[in-house]
Amino acid sequence: MGERTVIGVDIGGTKIIAGVVDERLEVGHRAARAAPSHSQVAALEAIVDAVSEARAASPDPVQAVGFGIPSLIDQTRGVPVTSINLQLAGIPFAALMSERLGLPVFVDNDANLALLAEQRHGAARGAQHAAMLTIGTGIGGGLLFNGEVYRGAIGAAGELGHMVIDQNGPPCQGNCPNHGCLESLASGTALAREGLWAAEATPDSALGAALLQGEEITGALITELALGGDRPAGEVLALIGTRLGVGISNLVNMLNPEVVVIGGGVIAAGELLLAPARAEVASRALAPSRDLVRIVAASFGPEAGMIGAALHAFEGIDAAATAGRRA
């Protein structure tokens, strides 16, 4: 008899990853697509295409699909109500995907699901009170209270990337109407922007040389050069880490978590990002919360959202089976 298998889908601001996941949380085939931000129809087609590829590659029948999407979600209807970087707001996402795919579909915020994976099997394992920040194109957030993911009144809680850390800061991106959000100052998008400015200011650095050679200044390139010892690249990561630490300080003071987990693509920078963040928390947050909290990288790295989406799918089909037996 084959493995019980689902597909976990992590939809980010620029990329869609769908993975075939078994109950041991081992990932088989992964399908990646760009996430079109200009068109709702194109975004939905890319999502269906990625899931279809992963499903076709699965050696065992796929029983359900779990989606982590970068949106505030009305859990009572399975509908994204606000979506910052993709055009998903207002569509009956769960029902639409179930109809298109012919499978049970379970949907939650992407960062909530990343936190679920880390709390069950990763860096926040065993914690009762935790927060997670997923840093990519934007910054997602998830909260764990008393061992349960906190979703708020209708499922829209935990948008930690949209806490304001500078009221006179730059406009936030996408559909956020605010200024000075953590997302606008410490996301992968902000990292690339600061890196470009640093490259222009230091043409004799490795970062500056990359720009002069026509390379795109991305977060991945900045991280690579910083890990290789380039000073301006390292300073840019330290700046982003310091800003991140301001946001984490707010979380520590408000919520007194045992652990704050940092995930998303930017966590590839490791301690170049986390060390300045911890230093900022040590200087800003109040005792005893600042002395208790651990600030750590996600065990599942940038795949935490995909793994969490798969866990959500497994739990969804188990809950449906239990309800069916009771009926």
pLDDT value at 123 more than 70: yes
| Lowest mean pLDDT across 108-112, 188-192, 233-237, 320-324 | 320-324
Q: In which band, very low, low, confident or very high, does the pLDDT at 40 lie, cut at 50, 70 and 90?
A: confident
pLDDT value at 90 more than 80: no
Residue of 3, 1, 28 whose CA lies nearest to 17: 28
Per cent of the chain over pLDDT 90 is 74
| pLDDT in the model for residue 151 | 83
Per cent of the chain over pLDDT 70 is 94
Work out the mean pLDDT of the chain and round it to a whole number: 91
| pLDDT in the model for residue 103 | 96
Alpha-carbon span 19 to 297, nearest angstrom: 21
For residue 233, which phi and psi values (nearest 5 degrees)?
-65, -40
Q: In which band, very low, low, confident or very high, does the pLDDT at 1 lie, cut at 50, 70 and 90?
A: very low
| pLDDT in the model for residue 34 | 87
Are 129 and 136 within 8 A, CB to CB? no
Q: In which band, very low, low, confident or very high, does the pLDDT at 86 lie, cut at 50, 70 and 90?
A: low
pLDDT tens-place string over residues 153-186 = 877 788 899 999 999 999 998 778 999 999 999 9
CATH of 5-109+303-310 among 3.30.420.40, 3.40.140.10, 3.40.50.720, 3.30.470.10: 3.30.420.40
pLDDT value at 82 more than 70: no
Instruction: Find the mean pLDDT for residues 93-113.
Output: 91
| Lowest mean pLDDT across 3-7, 61-65, 85-89, 216-220 | 85-89
| pLDDT in the model for residue 83 | 64
| Lowest mean pLDDT across 154-163, 251-260, 273-282 | 154-163
| pLDDT in the model for residue 230 | 98
pLDDT value at 233 more than 90: yes
Q: Which helix (H) or strand (E) element contains residue 121?
A: helix 110-121
pLDDT value at 287 more than 80: yes
Instruction: Find the mean pLDDT for residues 95-109.
Output: 92
From-to residues of CATH 3.30.420.40 in the chain: 5-109+303-310, 123-298
C-alpha to C-alpha distances, 201 to 174, 222, 260, 272, nearest whole angstrom:
28, 15, 34, 21
| pLDDT in the model for residue 156 | 77
Superfamily (CATH) of domain 123-298 = ATPase, nucleotide binding domain (3.30.420.40)
pLDDT tens-place string over residues 235-253 = 999 999 999 999 999 999 9
pLDDT value at 260 more than 90: yes
Residue of 140, 169, 157 whose CA lies nearest to 243: 169
| pLDDT in the model for residue 261 | 98
Burial class (CB within 10 angstroms; exposed 0-12, middle 13-18, buried 19+) of 284: middle
pTM attached to this predicted model: 0.88
Instruction: Find the mean pLDDT for residues 204-227.
Output: 97
